[in-house]
Amino acid sequence: MNSEIIISLEHVTKRYKVGDGDFTALSDINLQFKKGEFAGLVGPSGSGKTTLLNIIGSLDSPTEGKAIVMGKNISALSHKESAMLRNYHIGFIFQVYNLMPVYTVFENVEFSLILQNKSAAERKKAVMESLDWVGIADMANKKPSKLSGGEGQRVAIARAMVKRPDILLADEPTANLDAKNAHAILQTMKALNKELNTTFLFSTHDEKVMGYLDRMIHLEDGKIREDEIIPHKLSV
């Protein structure tokens, strides 16, 4: 892992309007993530994990403070600039996979590369390589409705990884998987983290995920309770 800081959060606070008052989802968060980290935001529901992930992913912006991702201040980005940041540097994995039902596995994975205007040959090579990483190259022509939960999440990982992002944000990626599939998915992610030096940032309260993390940031009521570096417990 090199020491390049690619995510820097300085006094990040996020408030939402609720009725006549405000709800504080995040309060004075200060964090930094280096390239190649395999870290997780852990905590109970409502602790602010997903909100923080969305800010880092430039889907949302802080009410106060600064979120610098890949050297760019999220609050200062235009819609187009934040779309470019997501397109080239950030991959997302969602709890419910969010695959496009009308596209095949290949087309789902290919989507980000089409947005990057890659040639058909480049796209094909990258997609097949990506499907190979997650072990579902033989399912390229299947529709998502024909896949099991584990296979669906592998497609989501392949879709996120195909563009070789610097940061991969995974929101409860194992919540809908059984233990066997969850471990298989996590092992795949860990291997990709090692091989491609991609920064993985999870939002989770799943013990299985926590077992794979190198760093755990415990959130409670929108505040950091503990930022913990974990010695390797599991080897891939």
Partner 1 sequence: MLFKLAYKNLEGAGLRTWLTVGVLSFAFVIIILINGIVNGFNDQAINDAVNWEIGNGKLQNEKYDAYDPFSIKDGHGILPDSKNKDLVPVLIRQASIYPQGRMVSVTLNGIDINQKLLKLPTILLQQSTEEIPAIIGKRMAASANLKKGDQVLMRWRDSHGTFDAANISVAGIFNTNVTTVDAGQIWISLKKLRAMTDLDKSTTLFIAEKDYKQERVAGWKFLDQDELLKDLRAMVQIERISDSIIYLLLLAIALLAIFDTQVLSVFRRQREIGTYISLGMTRPQVVGLFTIEGSMNSILAIIVGGIYGIPLFLYLSYYGIAIPAGADNMGLSMGEKITPVFGAGLVLGTISLVVISSTIVSFLPSRKIAKMNPVDALKGKIQ
Whichever of 14 and 212 has its CB closer to partner 1, that residue is 14
Q: What's the closest the beta carbon of residue 2 comes to partner 1, in angstroms?
A: 25
Q: What's the closest the beta carbon of residue 183 comes to partner 1, in angstroms?
A: 26
Q: What's the closest the beta carbon of residue 102 comes to partner 1, in angstroms?
A: 3
Whichever of 59 and 196 has its CB closer to partner 1, that residue is 59
**Distances 156 to 96, 115, 167, 180 between C-alpha atoms, Å:** 9, 17, 15, 17
What phi-psi label fits residue 118: left (phi over 0), alpha (psi between -120 and 50 degrees) or beta? beta
Q: What's the closest the beta carbon of residue 96 comes to partner 1, in angstroms?
A: 8
Which DSSP letter does residue 146 get?
A: G
Ordered alpha helix ranges (H), the chain: 49-56, 79-89, 105-115, 120-133, 149-161, 179-196, 207-210
Type of residue found at 74: I
Q: What's the closest the beta carbon of residue 112 comes to partner 1, in angstroms?
A: 5
Whichever of 86 and 190 has its CB closer to partner 1, that residue is 86
The whole-angstrom separation of Cα 190 and Cα 197 is: 10
Query: What is the gyration radius of the CA atoms in the chain, in angstroms?
Result: 17
Interface contacts to partner 1, rule CB under 8 A: 54, 57, 59-60, 79-80, 83-84, 86-88, 92, 94, 96, 98, 100-103, 107, 111-112, 114-116, 159
Whichever of 79 and 232 has its CB closer to partner 1, that residue is 79
Whichever of 80 and 232 has its CB closer to partner 1, that residue is 80
| Residue corresponding to tokens 């004075």 | 28
The whole-angstrom separation of Cα 119 and Cα 84 is: 18
